[in-house]
Amino acid sequence: MKLNSVELHRIKLSLVAPFETSFGVQTERDVLLLKAITDAGEGWGECVAGEEPTYSSEYVEGAQEVLIRHLIPRLLNREISLADVARILRPIHGHNMAKAALEMAMLDAELRADGKSFGQFFGATRTAVDCGVSVGIHSSIPELLQTVGGYLDAGYLRIKLKIKPGWDVEPVRAVRERFGDVPLQVDANTAYSLADAKHLAELDRFDLLLIEQPLPEEEVLAHAKLARNVKTPICLDESITSAQAAADAIELGACQVINIKPGRVGGYLEGRKIHDVCVERGIPVWMGGMLETGIGRAGNVAMAAMPGFTLPGDTSASDRYYHRDITEPFVLQDGRLKVPTRPGLGVTVDREYLDSITFWSGTLGRGGMSAASG
């Protein structure tokens, strides 16, 4: 396959409700989308980097810069196979979310040309995937209970509560008391330290599925120490940036579960490797979420249909995030989302709507950047 040019689009989408985590409040997404124009056809990719470098060191403006300056030029106008993309981009350190978006667009182009869906490519074994929902930090327990109740009424099969020091045991207790034994887990986004081990062990009595990324991402050994002091299984998110990192963390005893986010690990192909590492070692995996549009959601739902994804993912329906998605919406049916079956991502971008919410776009090809607007 030959990459002739890449269209870059920056769009703004308001969230249906503010989403608060231990690192901040988000009310909209500033999304970088890529369209790869290859000799085989076109494909879409979504970059999951946030507006600020708060979930990780990546952020959307930086991702755009590194794509234009360093990543896309390495792939343009040469014969490459998909398996080579990560290897060619490897000399550029880090920037996994930027790399993932580019690889995704090329994968979509190739699979569309081959008439093969993402699900078929990954070896999906399900036609629909079980969905959970991630519930932000609320300003009061009654408001939290109202939000959780709404999601359970909508059919979500698992609830994840965002926690931080000062918002942990009480919200978990309240949700358990009101909603009984609904599958429940928590996500701290690195907000605690090993000194909080005793406090985190107070969560053990609530029979949670897991506690996600309690400690800073570099503190893998500390997670292993924490795991010896809490009964709730530890799940790593931010710490797992590659299949090697996953294998190391498992061997250290730092996690009993892993959350896979293709953006965080540099792409779907690395995500598939992590899945395989985990299946081999008996570690359950589940699909994370980064408030994706229908483009990213399509890929994530397809990957979540692989056999090792045995826990419900943060793969919620389009209406959990946006009033209007940029593809046909993903709709929850009995707590599940259907895996797209058409070639590539299997969704169609609503180009007119996309253009109406685009605040910057440009094309990078052989002659450099052109047709930039906005």
Q: Closest approach of Cβ 187 to Mg ion, in Å?
A: 4
Looking at the Cβ atoms of 7 and 237, the one nearer to Mg ion is 237
Choose the catalytic residue: 35, 99, 160, 162: 162
The residue (of 171 and 343) whose beta carbon lies closer to ligand SMG is 171
Q: Helix, strand or coil for residue 174?
A: helix
304 binds, among ligand SMG, Mg ion, none (CB under 5 to 8 A by kind): none
CB atoms < 10 A from the CB of 356, how many?
Answer: 9
Count of C-beta atoms within a 10 Å radius of residue 139: 9
Interface pattern 200-239 for ligand SMG (x via CB under 6 A)? -------------------------------------x--
Q: Which does 30 bind (CB under 5 to 8 A by kind): Mg ion, ligand SMG, none?
A: none
CA distances from 88 to 75, 76, 84, 271 (A): 8, 11, 6, 18
Q: Measured from the CB atom, is 75 or 254 closer to ligand SMG?
A: 254
> Could you give the count of Cα atoms lying within 13 Å of 132 in the half-sphere of its Cβ?
25
Choose the contact partner of 290 out of ligand SMG, Mg ion, none; CB within 5 to 8 A by kind.
Answer: ligand SMG
Q: Using CA atoms, how far apart are residues 139 and 318, in angstroms rounded to an integer? A: 24
CB of 53 to ligand SMG, least distance (A): 11
Candidates 168, 217, 237, 325; binder of Mg ion (CB under 5 A) is: 237
DSSP 294-344: HHHHHHHHHHHTSTTB-S-BS---HHHH-SS-SSSPP--BTTEEEPP-SSB
| 116 has catalytic annotation | no
318 binds, among ligand SMG, Mg ion, none (CB under 5 to 8 A by kind): none
| Binding track over 189-218 against Mg ion, x by CB under 5 A | -----------------------x------
Q: Shortest CA distance to 109 belongs to which of 5, 10, 260?
A: 5
Binding segment (CB under 6 A) for ligand SMG, from list 63-71, 139-147, 278-286, 288-296? 288-296
Choice from 3, 22, 49, 50 touching ligand SMG (CB under 6 A): 50
Residues in 299-318 at the binding interface with ligand SMG, rule: CB under 6 A: 314, 316
User: What residues have CB less than 8 Å from 59, skipping those under 6 apart?
Assistant: 49, 50, 51, 52, 53
Closest residue by Cα to residue 19 from 171, 149, 160:
160
Catalytic annotation, pick one of 116, 261, 273, 338: 261
List, in order, residues 6 or more apart from 163 with CB less than 8 Å away: 22, 137, 171, 172, 186, 187, 188, 191
C-beta atoms surrounding 46 within 10 Å: 27
Select from 4-12, 264-272, 286-294, 347-355 the region that touches ligand SMG (CB under 6 A). 286-294
| 187 contributes a contact to ligand SMG by CB under 6 A | yes
261 is catalytic: yes
Task: Find the DSSP H helices in 67-115.
Answer: 72-75, 82-89, 96-114
Rg over alpha carbons for the chain, rounded to the nearest Å, is 20
Residues that bind ligand SMG (CB under 6 A): 21, 50, 55, 134, 187, 189, 237, 288-291, 314, 316
Active site positions, annotated: 162, 261
Residues that bind Mg ion (CB under 5 A): 187, 212, 237
